Structure 1
């Protein structure tokens, strides 16, 4: 493998001149620059990235931390793909680190990216608490931006959608259609997003003067299979419901499948709304109504904010992003509409 000394000798310049060409720092005449670049091409020299990063104090990389249990979902696929596209346009590389299964492992993933000298880090946390995230951000010079959590201290470092309000919007639409007996399939019990969506469901019913019946709230695990199982539990306990909100589209699709198998017509007997508006949602039968989260807009905002911080600019807290109800064939008027 060629060394920087060999490049300098072939180009007829000093090692310092080669270093200035590689780092982009300091003046090098056009002729000498071309000599160095030609020598690099002829020798096949590859600079030591760690050494270059130490010298330039930049790596042109951005780290992304997401726990591996979330990789397969459409929401997170879109998030990762759009992040990579935007950073490619900015001439930067995206490095993905696995947050695994605990708060300690999420923190270790952040530290791994910091040790790689990523210029900045984006995290979609599953386990780290708000206080822990605020502490981590405050301790490091590199900007660490948090998606989908509302921070208390470092409010300019978080980008989020109001999951509570989005869930309430879905329930309010069903209430306006005359539904009163509305069931709810939760996400995983340790999911902050799932907790917020359940909270929005309860709040909307409470505001309408309807007490949330615990029998109509069934735990799910974000999968279509858990949506089917949730309907099984509702029916096995004789729970009546004319509408159902599932905390994501996969569970909603599973619920529709089981309802159909039980000869319960959707939406004539039970209306269904999901979350995330996955690409498949318009193509199932009946087409699925869903709360669409502005994923690409949130990623655009996150990366723009991160790059602005890296350039020394200021960024102030922004209002939460809002979801939109994509109304399709899975919702009809309820028994109280007349």
Structure 2
């Protein structure tokens, strides 16, 4: 394994100089830093993180907190978040993943982390976010739109995506829209219904109360919701599901019940999970830029105060993925 002493010997300087140069010390001239960096790259030098952490008083650990890993979080969603963070973190950093409740029960150990990304779903997470802030742990809230600018916040514009998709369906001639909602307390459920209502209101379209049914983001709730809507005396022409898992459950029920999609009933999802393109027919959905959101959150977390501007909230646009279920 290549060490600092090996680099120092080649560069003709002390190992202290090499250490300072690799840690970007202002005491070292730029030309010397450049020379030492080039030697280190040539030798494929890998920093000793334990030693570096002692010098810098950093742990090089970033913690990712999820409100729930088993409720309302699909495997593909979790995978995209972790990949976005890992692809952005410098190689000396490690990523740990925990549920919020688990971390809250052992809060004293959080002092060892260098930063936190909180994948938040509802305002029930606010107490935990506030506790992190009081510990002076740098943090970014990901996925949930906050009503405060106190914390750096990265999310997608869910309402905008649903608004555009419902308008697209209206342009195709559809006029009767049903909705299978997500978990009521989740901000994503609220924002997606907001876009749904806004698009229909602008088109002077209304719906009866029974066209809105409850779901919980699961496949089973999508099946039950579709069954409930299609058993109505006058069912809707389109079912918008607040996520793809419920849309896939809805498609499954429709096919088992003998409905043809989209001839008898059109189905729309949200998220564009990998499996959505393999349903029968392939699912029309709204693409949420989870990977890009996670990268942006990590960049904000790693940015020094001098690199930050006054903006704290970042909204990434969704996009329409039109397939054959609409």
Q: TM-score, normalised by structure 1?
A: 0.74
Change (3 A) 1:232 1:113: farther
Task: Spell out the pairing of 1:1-338 with structure 2 (5 A cutoff).
Answer: 53=53, 56-66=56-66, 67-69=68-70, 70-87=72-89, 89-100=90-101, 107-108=104-105, 111=107, 114-115=110-111, 117-129=112-124, 132=127, 135-136=130-131, 138-154=133-149, 157-309=152-304, 312-315=306-309, 316-317=311-312, 319-331=314-326
- Looking at both structures, which has the greater relative contact order when contacts are Cα pairs under 8 Å and sequence separation is at least 6? 2
State the partner residue of 2:4: none
Change (3 A) 1:48 1:167: closer
8 Å contact 1:216–1:239 — kept in the other structure? Answer: no
Q: TM-score, normalised by structure 2?
A: 0.77
Change (3 A) 1:313 1:319: closer
Cα-to-partner distance string for 1:270-300 (whole Å, 9 max, x where unaligned): 1111011111112221111110011111111
**Which range is displaced more, 142-151 or 126-135?**
126-135
Larger of the two Rg values belongs to structure: 1
Q: Which runs of 5+ in 1 are unaligned?
A: 1-17, 28-46, 332-338
**Which range is displaced more, 130-139 or 253-262?**
130-139
8 Å contact 2:159–2:194 — kept in the other structure? Answer: yes
Distance in 2 separating the partners of 1:203 and 1:266: 25
* 1:127 CA drift (Å): 4.2
Indicate the SS of the match to 2:282: coil
8 Å contact 1:137–1:154 — kept in the other structure? Answer: no
* 1:129 CA drift (Å): 4.6
Indicate the SS of the match to 2:261: coil
* 1:269 CA drift (Å): 1.9
The count of aligned residue pairs is 286
Q: Which runs of 5+ in 2 are unaligned?
A: 1-14, 28-47
Change (3 A) 1:260 1:152: closer
